A and B are shown apart, each in its own frame.
Chain A
Amino acid sequence: MDILRIATAGSVDDGKSTLIGRLLYETNSITKDKIEALETASKRKGLDFLDLSLLTDGLIAEREQGITIDVAHIYFSTPHRKYIIADTPGHFEYTRNMVTGASNTSVSIILIDARNGVVEQTKRHFYISSMLRIKNIIVAVNKMDLVAYNQEKFEAIKTELLEIAEQVSFKEQTLQFIPISSLYGENLVRKSEETPWYEGATLLETLENFSTQNLELSTIQARFPVQHVVRPKTEEYHDYRGYAGKIASGTFLIGDLVEALPSGQISKIKTIEKFGTQLESGNAKDSIVITLEDNIDVSRGNMLVKVGEQPESRKEIIAKICWLDSQMLTVGKTYLLQHGINRVKAKITNISSVIDIKNMSLSNEAPVDGGLKLNEIGWISLKTASPIFADKYEENPANGSFILIDESGNSTVGVGFVE
């Protein structure tokens, strides 16, 4: 059984929680006691309908204010696959959560209220999804019941968003527009009779047909960051030296010639193991142990790659960055840069521009006002204390991103995408 990871995003009151609630309900993923709890809570709030948002708004503050603050993870399954939804808040001030929630997903569902059309948040969500290179975008035009399932309304929204897509979309990205009503379940699981003019698939059908990201990751250059060196030092495994890690991308086979980075030493893969089982190969996202024919210098944070496929050794990096902290990112400051599992010190040498998402004027980027603020996305340059072996994010998303950690508070303050 495979897993499809989805990010949902929408503005306040776009009906996102209702959409998720509906998906859970129709896939039999909510149990009776949860529905009963929902009924009680809805009544307490004085509502005469089931407020499905109460299902996902898990924190006291969220329920009090009727808004979603933090990323919630929601699970459901069909006979075909398991789904993980990262439900991210639609409030401007919580954009950092959207980047966080969407970072692990291969599908983005952007909700639009049919009455309001494309709003600033729509652009922001679309931009972030594209920045993260999420290949499958579903634009769910919701609340179609409130516009009498009017086709012109739907088409107008589609046209407007396609214009935006022209500026920020990338070649491999697909966009699908679906007219829905979460409240009545139209075109979610059941094809709606209210939209005879819509010939496409329902939301769930569309999801069921997507391929997962892992397949694509396995076809690009192989990267194996070493997490842990297994040395049992028992009698049976006296000289055993295994390199444990999760394959970031590509495929490794027994007999492959590999180079260890940064040492540059070369050896051949002797075995690929998983809990004593000997495998022929390992693919992207497999957690395995690799042993080599020769005793070469490999430790935690190093990377094994195939000979002839080495990523560039970089000490000076240009990256797009999304700032996640209330304290501004400023030139000259030193952070800890974590690339995969490897940490190095890094100094910000330049902030060249801030991206103006609101006006979608991505070519005329706004000038920098002192530094990068919370929720802003910009271009920076930085230099690291020792080289990192990163790929361009667009060529290898599994080896092309990093986080910045503030050394004084230990918090994760930014996420970068290598150019």
Chain B
Amino acid sequence: MSTFSEKTTVYQANDSSFPRELEDEAIYILREVASQFEKPAILFSGGKDSITVVRLAQKAFYPGKIPFALLHVDTGHNFPETIEYRDWLVNKLGLELHVRYVADSIKQGKVKEETGKYASRNALQTVTLLDAIEEFKFDACIGGARRDEEKARAKERIFSVRDDFGQWNAKKQRPELFDMLNGKIELGENVRVFPISNWTELDVWNYIKEEELRIPTIYFTHEREVFERDGMIWADSEFINKSEDEVPYKTQVRFRTVGDMTCTAAVASTADNLEDVIGEILSAQISERGARIDDKRSEAAMEKRKQAGYF
């Protein structure tokens, strides 16, 4: 491995101020969504990225109201803290919330519950999402995905056109020049919009800190029943099929991302405030999606899910 044999200088990004240009860019994108589409919605997971998107929408239209509804695709395997947070936010900002359940898609026979040790509903939510888009006739769905998360996402446009089947075609993406966004679509097509495309995980955390945003408590250290699998810390829950040698124990952990309980790993942490969380990220040896069990399935896991209509 000759390329990495010697690191010449050590650079550490220690300036924690948030680049405000990113906020201006995101607000611009959200205002374009409000003007170019008939019925846009924010895909809300209760995670820090979608919380950031809601904050940006609040700023973009102030003193007017946020002109988007929220759509939450509930796998039924959420952390209860996330649901609590979601309901608090919706109530505080007076937003319209739609929830659609993966359990219903399973009941309707549209998808089949996975079995085995790694069973998760994460991939199943695509079907529920596409059905909800059709049901509500959403022509734009705003998401908190970032290009730094994963390399298939690094190729994603800000306005990403999906066909009738919700599919992403990487080779037919529209070129995006300067800041001109082309959201023209045919009936039945929809656009996924990523206003924080150019933000990194650190940018999001610095923004949350500077804006003093409340976030779900599971982002901070807490005591939890966990067990170890494949070198990662898993939160113990009734939704996970454990083997006999996977014995749960209590320890101090926090989560770096908030996904489905079956696909989000925890990290050992003592960080109980944003300052410490940011400090941990700066010195972290593992990337954010490294704690996402769903991405570990294969090198192209994300691209394949995106082609099928996943976020």
Contacts of B150 in A (CB 8 A): 58
- Categorize the interface residue count of chain B: 35 or more
Kindly provide the distance from the CB of B282 to the nearest chain A CB, expressed in whole angstroms: 9
Q: How far, in Å, is B220 (CB) from chain A's closest CB?
A: 21
Inter-subunit contact A32/B6 (CB<8 Å): no
Cβ of A263 < 8 Å from any Cβ of B?
no
The answer on a CB contact under 8 Å between B303 and A58 is yes
Question: B170 contacts A31, CB within 8 Å?
Answer: no
| Residues of the B chain whose Cβ atoms lie less than 8 Å from the Cβ of A71 | 155
- Residues of chain A lying within 8 A (CB to CB) of residue B1: 39, 42, 48-50
Contact indicator A41/B19 (Cβ below 8 Å): no
- Other A-B pairs beyond A34-B290, A72-B154, A214-B21, 17, CB < 8 Å: A33-B285, A33-B290, A42-B1, A58-B155, A58-B303, A60-B300, A61-B170, A69-B170, A70-B155, A84-B198, A100-B175, A228-B31, A228-B34, A244-B60, A287-B23, A403-B182, A412-B174
Please state if B177 and A415 are interface contacts (CB–CB under 8 Å): yes
* A208-242 contacts to B (CB < 8 Å): 214, 227-228, 230-232, 234, 236-237, 240, 242
Most buried by B among A21, A237, A412: A412
Decide yes or no whether B237 CB sits under 8 A from chain A.
no
Asked if B9 lies at the interface with its beta carbon under 8 angstroms from chain A, I say: yes
Return the CB mask of A264-288 against B: 1 if under 8 Å, else 0: 0000000000111000000001110
Contact with B along A320-350 (1 / 0, CB 8 A): 0000100000000000101011000000000
Q: Is the interface of B mostly helix, strand, loop or mixed?
A: loop
Judge if B108 is at the interface, Cβ distance under 8 Å.
Answer: no
Chain B residues 1 to 56 lying within 8 A of chain A, measured CB to CB, are 1-4, 6-15, 17-19, 21-25, 27-28, 31-32, 34-35
Residues of A within 8 A of B182 (CB): 338, 403, 405, 410-412
In the assembled complex, the Cα of A232 lies from the Cα of B170 at a distance in Å of: 39
Interface 9-residue window, one of B61-69, B77-85, B132-140, B270-278: B61-69
Contacts of A185 in B (CB 8 A): 6, 8
B24 neighbours in A (Cβ, 8 Å): 246, 285-287
B130 at the interface (CB under 8 A from A): no
Is B152 in the interface zone, CB < 8 Å from A? yes
Which chain B residues lie closer than 8 Å to A2 at the CB level?
Answer: 19, 21
Distance, CA A77 to CA B15, complexed state (A): 9
Q: In the complex, what residues of A have CB within 8 A of residue B217's CB?
A: none
A25 B7 Cβ-Cβ under 8 A:
yes
CA distance A3 to B198 in the complex (A): 11
Residues of B within 8 A of A31 (CB): 284-287, 290
- B62 contact set on A, CB distance < 8 A: 230, 275-276, 289
The 6 tightest CB contacts between A and B, nearest first, are A58-B151, A190-B8, A77-B13, A33-B290, A32-B285, A287-B27
B59 within 8 A of A: yes
In the complex, per-residue mask of A170-191: 1 if CB is within 8 Å of any chain B CB, else 0? 0000000000000101001110
**Sample (26) of A-B pairs whose CB atoms are under 8 Å apart:** A1-B15, A3-B22, A28-B10, A28-B11, A29-B13, A34-B290, A42-B1, A58-B150, A59-B155, A72-B151, A73-B198, A79-B15, A189-B8, A189-B9, A227-B31, A228-B35, A230-B64, A237-B64, A274-B59, A276-B62, A285-B24, A341-B35, A398-B178, A403-B182, A410-B185, A415-B177
Tell me the nearest residue of chain B to A338, going by C-beta. B180
Nearest CB of B to A91, in Å? 13
A99 at interface by CB-CB < 8 Å:
yes
Please, which residues of chain A bring their CB within 8 A of the CB of B152?
A: 58-59
Q: When the two chains form their complex, are residues B175 and A104 in contact, meaning their CB atoms are under 8 A apart?
A: no
Complex contacts, A84 vs chain B, CB 8 Å: 198
Distance in angstroms between the alpha carbons of A214 and B19 in the assembled complex: 13
- Whole-angstrom distance from the CB of A238 to the nearest CB of chain B? 11
Known: A103-B178, A412-B175. A230 touches B61 (CB 8 A): yes
Question: For B25, what are the chain A residues with a Cβ–Cβ distance below 8 Å?
Answer: 285, 287
